A and B are shown apart, each in its own frame.
Chain A
Amino acid sequence: MPKLSYLKALNRALGDEMARDASVCVFGEDVRVAVSNVTAGLVRRFGPDRVLDTPISEQAFTSFATGAALAGLRPLVEFQIPSLLFLAFEQIANQAHKFSLMSGGQARVPVTYLLPGSGSREAWAGQHSDHPYGLFAHVGVKTVVPATPSDAYGLLLSALRDDDPVVVFAPAGALGVREDVDFAALGPVPLGRGRVHRAGTDVTVVAVGHLVHEALAVAGELAGRVSVEVFDPRTLHPLDRAGLTASLARTGRLVVLDDSNRSCGFAAEVLATAAEGARLRAAPRRVTRPEGAVLPFAPALDRACQPGRAGLLAAIEEVTTVLGEGGGT
């Protein structure tokens, strides 16, 4: 089977949807030369009228897309840096997101915001390394973090077809992932549905984005000793709570691996969901960035703030040992 890279999957999904639906257009900085590679070849295929290079005016072009959506288009807005979401937060959280309810259902705002290269890109320092998906889940904007090329393809397609604003985070750590795919079988992946990448019976590891691959590696390492189920929510909001609780019913133990800041972060929501809706046999653990972390520039410091395999192993050790010693809480 041919290999598809994550980056190419995003490019392909966008190109396929632009071919299918003439109302899809792209706004962003340097999207014609395709600095991020996601938009490679699109201006040649679809023309400058559908692939628009914007001046450095994020707040304006984000709401420009809202206006275009209200007038019938389905724009994709590409942001070069995750922290540009802080700049355009008003335009997404307070404008695009609120039209539907505040208009009493008269308006819909089908805009997709794409973040190719979210999270740490090693040595891009404090203002380029955030992973603020939790903020969007918190305010209720549909939030997607695909882990694999086929999910990247399918979730981006669904985001473009959805009638609400959707933020799609494509973690820097996942862009290089490649997968054997049957191109004919590629299709939309529904929003709001998680995926069990690996079934297990001892502990559920909920992993987000690129960290799904770390979780799978750790699960492989532990095979035979601890049976790890790897659950990828794929959509952080709305969260597949049913899928999550079903997994916890099988395992009774929970570790969350989440590349965002700890306090009030996505992992906390997963833990809260478990506390409310599942019967856990051991206190759950979360492996995250530190509270309030600002990623430092020096690579070793940057890495020290990122959740990874070592932390995950230790956390799995903890939740499984507690039970082994008969100390379930």
Chain B
Amino acid sequence: MTDAGLYRTVALIRGFERRAVELVRSGVVPGGIHPYTGQEAIAAGSCAALRPDDVVTSTHRGHGHVLAKGADPARMMAELAGREPGLNRGRGGSMHAADFALGVLGANAMVGAAVPIAAGAAWALRRSGSDRVAVAYFGDGAVSQGVVLEAFNLAALWRAPVVLVCENNGFATSMRTADAVAGSILGRARAFGIPARAVDGTDPREVLAATAEAVARARAGGGPTLLECAAYRFDAHHTWEHAARPGYRSAAEEAAGRARDPLEVQGARLAPEVRSAIDAELDGVLDAAVEFARGAPHPDPASALAHLYATEVG
């Protein structure tokens, strides 16, 4: 992907999240969101290394992954607003946005829960004879979850073509990575014989290059790779923090964290007129997405449990 393409994805996510936070404030998006702001280079760079037929699993902080894999921002925003034309028909919301047609097997509200799902999907894709791969996104907090380590073992044993993208944004809610992780994230993967490397998660080019290498290994039958992508979570853990202000990090620390901004890292690689043309185009797309979400119909309460089962019995 070109520098302009990478920039466009980063800016798309940034602009989407800014608008989504506004819609939380104005009550259009109920329940709040976990903003992805600051981590955009990870979704943008890694998805740029994928084919449309590859699959991904995402997290509670999943908007970036879903958008970078190609979801329609308007239907995504409508999902956050709980509307019928949303990606999940308003049944999933921010933490469960999914677009199976694009290989987005879903955001997931349980920390770490999607990692074995991605590994299993990857294994099955390979077993069916294709060279498709899966990416599992998860946070630094997830590496202390037993099921994640169990999934590392299975993926390595059975050579599942899965790229394990760990987004180390410094925190699991209020807990610093260093206070939660004994040893290291890379060491956890290496203990299972999984190649692992640290990546600058604020640089889309770096993430793209590292993912492309991991994807190539996976497609060739070389099994899983872990990429620890470091970035800083610019915003609150969740929008409820905007009011509650739990105060686990200082304003000075936040300012330092925001100093390296993926939007600027990638924006600096473009000619100013190219960048502003992309910005203008995205403003149009995203303003339209907000309008679409605001105007979209609410689902009918009588259909609250539609789709509870894939097949009804009796």
Task: Tell me the A residues contacting B by CB distance below 8 Å.
Answer: 29-30, 32-35, 53, 55-60, 81, 83, 87, 121-128, 290, 292-294, 296-305
Please give the distance in Å from A32's CB to the nearest CB on chain B: 7
A297 to B79, CA, bound (A): 9
Residues of A within 8 A of B112 (CB): 56
Q: B141 within 8 Å of A by Cβ? A: yes
Would A127 and B82 count as touching, CB distance under 8 A? no
Please give the distance in Å from A38's CB to the nearest CB on chain B: 14
Which residue of chain A is the closest to B181 with respect to CB atoms? A55
Q: List 13 A-B contacts (CB under 8 A).
A: A29-B173, A53-B174, A55-B180, A57-B144, A123-B30, A126-B96, A296-B90, A297-B91, A298-B93, A299-B30, A301-B90, A305-B304, A305-B305
Residues of A within 8 A of B248 (CB): 33
A180 to B299, CA, bound (A): 41
Contact of A55 (CB < 8 Å), options: B32, B144, B303: B144
B1-47 at interface with A (beta carbon < 8 Å)? 30-32
Would B298 and A300 count as touching, CB distance under 8 A? yes
Task: Tell me the B residues contacting A by CB distance below 8 Å.
Answer: 30-32, 82-83, 88, 90-96, 108-112, 141-142, 144-146, 172-175, 179-181, 246-248, 298-299, 301-305, 308
Would A55 and B83 count as touching, CB distance under 8 A? no
Would A56 and B109 count as touching, CB distance under 8 A? no
A124 to B109, CA, bound (A): 9
A296 to B301, CA, bound (A): 10
Please give the distance in Å from A31's CB to the nearest CB on chain B: 9
Please give the distance in Å from A166's CB to the nearest CB on chain B: 24
Contact of B31 (CB < 8 Å), options: A35, A125, A301, A305: A125
Given contacts A294-B308, A301-B304, contact A56 B247 (CB under 8 A): no
- Report which residue of A35, A296, A305 has the largest number of chain B beta carbons within 10 angstroms of its beta carbon: A296
Contact of B299 (CB < 8 Å), options: A123, A124, A126, A301: A301
Residues of A within 8 A of B95 (CB): 124-125, 127-128
6 extra A-B contacts, CB within 8 A, seeds A29-B175, A56-B142, A298-B299: A33-B246, A56-B112, A56-B172, A57-B145, A125-B91, A125-B95
Please give the distance in Å from B210's CB to the nearest CB on chain A: 25
Would A30 and B304 count as touching, CB distance under 8 A? no
Would A53 and B93 count as touching, CB distance under 8 A? no
A56 to B60, CA, bound (A): 14
Would A33 and B83 count as touching, CB distance under 8 A? no
Please give the distance in Å from B103's CB to the nearest CB on chain A: 21
Which residue of chain B is the closest to A32 with respect to CB atoms? B174
Contact of B179 (CB < 8 Å), options: A53, A60, A121, A126: A53
Contact of A53 (CB < 8 Å), options: B145, B175, B304: B175
* The 8 residue pairs across chains A and B that have the minimum distance between CB atoms: A123-B31, A297-B93, A298-B82, A123-B30, A55-B144, A304-B301, A127-B109, A55-B180
A266 to B288, CA, bound (A): 47
Would B146 and A60 count as touching, CB distance under 8 A? yes
Given contacts A296-B91, A301-B91, A305-B305, contact A122 B110 (CB under 8 A): no
- Report which residue of B146, B302, B305 has the largest number of chain A beta carbons within 10 angstroms of its beta carbon: B305
Would B31 and A122 count as touching, CB distance under 8 A? yes
Would B144 and A297 count as touching, CB distance under 8 A? no
Would A35 and B173 count as touching, CB distance under 8 A? yes
Residues of A within 8 A of B82 (CB): 123, 297-299, 301
Contact of A127 (CB < 8 Å), options: B30, B96, B144, B247: B96
Which residue of chain B is the closest to A80 with respect to CB atoms? B173
Residues of B within 8 A of A58 (CB): 145
Residues of B within 8 A of A298 (CB): 30, 82-83, 90-91, 93, 298-299
Please give the distance in Å from A280's CB to the nearest CB on chain B: 29
A123 to B27, CA, bound (A): 11
Please give the distance in Å from A50's CB to the nearest CB on chain B: 17
Please give the distance in Å from A213's CB to the nearest CB on chain B: 23
Residues of B within 8 A of A296 (CB): 90-91, 299, 304-305
A59 to B299, CA, bound (A): 37
Residues of B within 8 A of A299 (CB): 30, 82
Contact of B174 (CB < 8 Å), options: A33, A128, A301: A33
A41 to B181, CA, bound (A): 25
Which residue of chain A is the closest to B83 with respect to CB atoms? A298
Which residue of chain B is the closest to A61 with respect to CB atoms? B144
A292 to B307, CA, bound (A): 12
A300 to B300, CA, bound (A): 8
Would B146 and A59 count as touching, CB distance under 8 A? yes
Contact of B246 (CB < 8 Å), options: A35, A56, A292: A35
Please give the distance in Å from A227's CB to the nearest CB on chain B: 32
A123 to B31, CA, bound (A): 5
Residues of A within 8 A of B91 (CB): 125-126, 296-298, 301
Residues of A within 8 A of B83 (CB): 298
Which residue of chain A is the closest to B145 with respect to CB atoms? A56
A56 to B95, CA, bound (A): 18
Which residue of chain B is the closest to A297 with respect to CB atoms? B93
Residues of B within 8 A of A123 (CB): 30-32, 82, 93
Contact of A297 (CB < 8 Å), options: B92, B172, B308: B92
Would A56 and B308 count as touching, CB distance under 8 A? no
Residues of B within 8 A of A32 (CB): 174
Would A83 and B110 count as touching, CB distance under 8 A? yes
Residues of B within 8 A of A60 (CB): 146
Please give the distance in Å from B75's CB to the nearest CB on chain A: 14
Please give the distance in Å from B304's CB to the nearest CB on chain A: 4
A30 to B305, CA, bound (A): 34
Would B301 and A300 count as touching, CB distance under 8 A? yes
A301 to B302, CA, bound (A): 8
A297 to B30, CA, bound (A): 9
Residues of A within 8 A of B146 (CB): 57, 59-60
Would B174 and A125 count as touching, CB distance under 8 A? no
Residues of A within 8 A of B303 (CB): 301
